[in-house]
Amino acid sequence: DVKVTQSSRYLVKRTGEKVFLECVQDMDHENMFWYRQDPGLGLRLIYFSYDVKMKEKGDIPEGYSVSREKKERFSLILESASTNQTSMYLCASCIGTYNSPLHFGNGTRLTVT
Amino acid sequence: AQTVTQSQPEMSVQEAETVTLSCTYDTSENNYYLFWYKQPPSRQMILVIRQEAYKQQNATENRFSVNFQKAAKSFSLKISDSQLGDTAMYFCAFMKQTGANNLFFGTGTRLTVIP
């Protein structure tokens, strides 16, 4: 089975802190994604990557950046955390062919105080 | 732009009964893929079923089936013989055939199966 592991299940940070959310997948998937999940809004794409060192903006990239130095690892970075970034963050991966289903991690619930 | 609409924020069903979750979408694409994902309290998003738009036959996976109406841009999920383990958030999602495998999600339907 595909395993997508997010390093933290719960995280509490202060406003202005730099925050790193880590995601690792073990199936040699080309594509990796970061989504944000908020009640009533569903999941919204922040960034995705289709190869090492490649990244593309999603629908809500403002206030975030990403890093993909190795194929299995995709990091989401909040340069200066703000309270409106309090949310559930979900990482996903899939192989690079069309119609490939996404495999998700268990999510990181981030609270910014 | 693609949009996915789930008009039922919450639903409930008696155990062993059948329930249908609705989903509509808007797109100018002709070829695309549709998915239903389940998110139980554990938060793990699990793929329930998927449908290719070029296929007229509705997809089925055990107790789960879809009613795909391409002209109406409708993609409903039917759960038969509902079980307590079906209690979860259900998300409908759309994927374009071209470009990256990005999913566009609806806002979700919270389903509760009542014993």
Query: A46-89, pLDDT tens digit by residue?
Result: 999 999 989 999 999 999 999 999 999 999 999 999 999 999 99
Shortest CA distance from B101: residue in chain A? A98
Least confident range from A15-19, A86-90, B12-16, B50-54: namely B50-54
Percent of chain A scoring above 90 in pLDDT: 86
Q: How far apart are CA B44 and CA B91, in angstroms?
A: 12
Position A33 confidence tier, pLDDT thresholds 50, 70, 90:
very high
Cross-strand partners of A93: A32, A103
Record: contact A43-B101, CB cut-off 8 A: no
Which of residues B26 and B102 earns the better pLDDT score? Answer: B26
Q: Which chain A residues touch B4 with a CB distance below 8 Å?
A: 42
Tally of CB atoms within 10 A around A33: 28
- What are φ and ψ of residue B83, in 5° steps? -120, 160
| Local structure of residue B43 (DSSP, 8 states) | -
Q: Which chain B residues touch A102 with a CB distance below 8 Å?
A: 45, 47, 101, 103
Q: How far apart are CA A107 and CA B45, in angstroms?
A: 9
Position B18 confidence tier, pLDDT thresholds 50, 70, 90:
very high
Position A97 confidence tier, pLDDT thresholds 50, 70, 90:
confident
In this prediction, residue B98 carries a pLDDT of 74
Record: contact A98-B35, CB cut-off 8 A: no
Q: How far apart are CA A104 and CA A86, in angstroms?
A: 20
Q: How far apart are CA B32 and CA A82, in angstroms?
A: 36
Q: How far is B104 from chain A (nearest CA, A)?
A: 7
Is residue B16 helix, strand or coil?
A: coil
